[in-house]
Structure 1
Amino acid sequence: MLSVRGVEIRVSVRPARGRLAATPPLLLCNGIGASFEVLQPLVDRLDPDRGVIRFDVPGVGGSPLPPRPYLLATLAPRVADLAAQLGHGRFDVLGLSWGGGLAQQLSVQRRSNVRRLVLVATGTGTLMVPAHPRVLSKMVTPRRHRDPAYAREVAGLIYGGTMRTDPECGAELLHAATRAGPRRGYYYQLAAATGWCSLPFLRMISQPTLLLAGDDDPIVPLVNAKVMARLIRGAQLHVYPGGHLGVLTEAKALAPVIDHFLDLPDMRHTPGPRPRGWSRPTTTSHGVTWI
């Protein structure tokens, strides 16, 4: 547990080693209502030499409630300070779903700290192609994180992908070795993103960026990632067959995509208008195909 600007945050650190000992660690920003244990399937499949930092958002998992609600714009610098306390002034960031919003905010607000950006199953906030109302209605409470039977019931509807045929996977993923924080922590997360929208500043993201999006994601329809890929300069888009939590359920296939992107040689990457004739990029599992 670390105290960051007066707020206690539960943290897990896997130190870098071997060939990646001098490489900035990967900071993982989790989805709404989930403790960092949910990310274990991805961590297990990433290069074992890669340093990984995970944390529970204040009021979620093992992190106690903060003294007052927060915004993404106030949480982002706190997260950067957390990394600094661990000795990392520069790091890569991966944001999943709600955590993708935090990662976008962090990449602009503390751009000197962020080397590379990975956005997974995420969108642009209030201005985006929304989920179906039936899906959104299941997202307004943390019940799926607290009731395994309910998680099993709704997994296919809200997460799509393999959970349509194997809803038990959803219950196991959300409840195996995870910690449920207070309900108010979930509502603080919802409130933090209320009114937030990244569309006005996507062109300001200057870090090399990889977008991962599933072709069967009921929460964040694929079109959102395609829009973001057009607005973030030089972004790479990798579309995988699967749902909202594909980076966890199909970590064996997607972790190498992430590792490959993070291992690409650093090049000068500055914001600015796209050149004439720019095409939308997508990625294969090991590279970029321009279409």
Structure 2
Amino acid sequence: MKSAEVSLETVGGRTLRIARWRLDMESEHPPILFFNGIGANIEAVAPLANAFDDRGFIMFDMPGIGGSPDPLVPYNTMTMAWTATQVLDRFGLDVVDVMGISWGGGMAQHFAIQHPGRTRRLVLIATSAGMLMMPGSPKALTKMANPRRYIDPDFMLKNFETLYGEGLGKGPGKQGHMSRLTPPSPRGYLYQLLAMLGWTSAPALPFLRKPTLILMGDDDQIVPLINGKFLASLIPGSRLAVMEGGGHLFLLSHKDQSIAEIRAHLDPPDLPEQQEAA
């Protein structure tokens, strides 16, 4: 991550490892605030941050994940969304485009609902409305809940196709992704699981007035496509884009197509200023 500035910062009473890309660069685009998947560290998303080289990008490791120290007390979506605003304040960021994948897609939804004044546009990737989601393959979910997938390379290799579908095939993307993963602490992983326990965005989504793109893979064994359709039915004016043959990591297997969809959403042509401010 040579292009990123990474540091430990104490914000909102928590010490977090925060990565920033290009925040000091002049840009006509607002920065992207990104929420990662469960147990995943900053490095796992570094290629995506580098792809959006015309704007700032900021994200942080959740407590006990990656380089962030273990949490002392549990947290939930409300407290962590507020903490994210403190991260933005630390680096002088006001309004951002919010993006999240899987578990982080739930955080992105909650951030946009709780802090609409700081959210311009929203991108939800391979995610659901939380408690009301249609579960994925039991075989995949059993392995998904096992933190050994981050600690034991042999376990990850053996179960990669089950966890993430066949979207990456046998190409170099598979090994490249796994080489960027670092194991979460047991407490960090547990608290991250507990943070979403009983949470759902469904009652609030009909009142979400942010332009929203929902990206899903039709071969996702962890968050099936039906969950994206459910989100699209609840969020007014949202758009659902489906990656054909995409598993849970279609951001890697369908990288160019995914980035094109995201750019088209974040930078629509000739968008009137008053519509952006709505």
Q: Which residue of 1 aligns with 2:51?
A: 45
User: In structure 1, how many angstroms separate the alpha carbons of the residues matched to 2:171 and 2:144?
Assistant: 17
1:213-250, Cα deviation, whole Å (9 max, x unpaired): 01110011101101111110100111112111111332
Task: Note the C-alpha offset of 1:133.
Answer: 1.5
Preserved contact between residue 21 and residue 49 of structure 2 (Cα < 8 Å): no
Matched, 1:256 2:263: no
**Structure 1 residues 124, 92: CA separation in 2 closer, same or farther (over 3 Å shift)?**
same
Opposite residue 37 of structure 1, the aligned amino acid is E
Task: Note the C-alpha offset of 1:23.
Answer: 2.5
**Structure 1 residues 144, 170: CA separation in 2 closer, same or farther (over 3 Å shift)?**
farther
Preserved contact between residue 76 and residue 102 of structure 1 (Cα < 8 Å): yes
1:68 to 69, 73, 82: 73
Matched, 1:159 2:160: no
Preserved contact between residue 147 and residue 184 of structure 2 (Cα < 8 Å): no
User: In structure 2, how many angstroms separate the alpha carbons of the residues matched to 1:196 and 1:149?
Assistant: 33
Q: Which residue of 2 aligns with 1:243?
A: 247
Opposite residue 10 of structure 1, the aligned amino acid is R
User: In structure 2, how many angstroms separate the alpha carbons of the residues matched to 1:102 and 1:60?
Assistant: 15
Matched, 1:213 2:216: yes
Matched, 1:2 2:2: no
Q: Which residue of 1 aligns with 2:275?
A: 268
Please report the TM-score for the alignment, with normalisation by the length of structure 2. Answer: 0.90
Preserved contact between residue 149 and residue 171 of structure 1 (Cα < 8 Å): no
1:231 to 231, 234, 240: 234
Give 3-state SS (helix, strand or coil) of 1:66's partner: coil
Give 3-state SS (helix, strand or coil) of 2:63's partner: coil
Bigger Cα displacement from structure 2, 104-113 vs 252-261? 252-261
What's the RMSD between the two structures over aligned residues? Answer: 1.9
Task: Note the C-alpha offset of 1:168.
Answer: 6.9
Alignment of 1:99-110 (within 5 A): 99-110=104-115
User: In structure 2, how many angstroms separate the alpha carbons of the residues matched to 1:184 and 1:67?
Assistant: 9
**Structure 1 residues 270, 133: CA separation in 2 closer, same or farther (over 3 Å shift)?**
farther
Bigger Cα displacement from structure 2, 191-200 vs 8-17? 8-17
Q: Which residue of 1 aligns with 2:5?
A: none
Give 3-state SS (helix, strand or coil) of 1:237's partner: strand
Alignment of 1:133-148 (within 5 A): 133-148=138-153
Please report the TM-score for the alignment, with normalisation by the length of structure 1. Answer: 0.86
Unaligned runs of 5+ in 2: 1-7
1:143-193, Cα deviation, whole Å (9 max, x unpaired): 111111111111111211324x3287445313x244323121011110001
State, as a whole percentage, how many aligned pairs show the same letter: 39
> Number of aligned pairs?
267
Opposite residue 39 of structure 2, the aligned amino acid is G
Opposite residue 80 of structure 1, the aligned amino acid is T
Opposite residue 84 of structure 2, the aligned amino acid is V
1:109-136, Cα deviation, whole Å (9 max, x unpaired): 1111111100000001111111122111
Q: Which residue of 2 aligns with 1:188?
A: 191
Q: Which residue of 1 aligns with 2:4?
A: none
User: In structure 1, how many angstroms separate the alpha carbons of the residues matched to 2:102 and 2:235?
Assistant: 17
User: In structure 2, how many angstroms separate the alpha carbons of the residues matched to 1:45 and 1:29?
Assistant: 16
Unaligned runs of 5+ in 1: 272-291
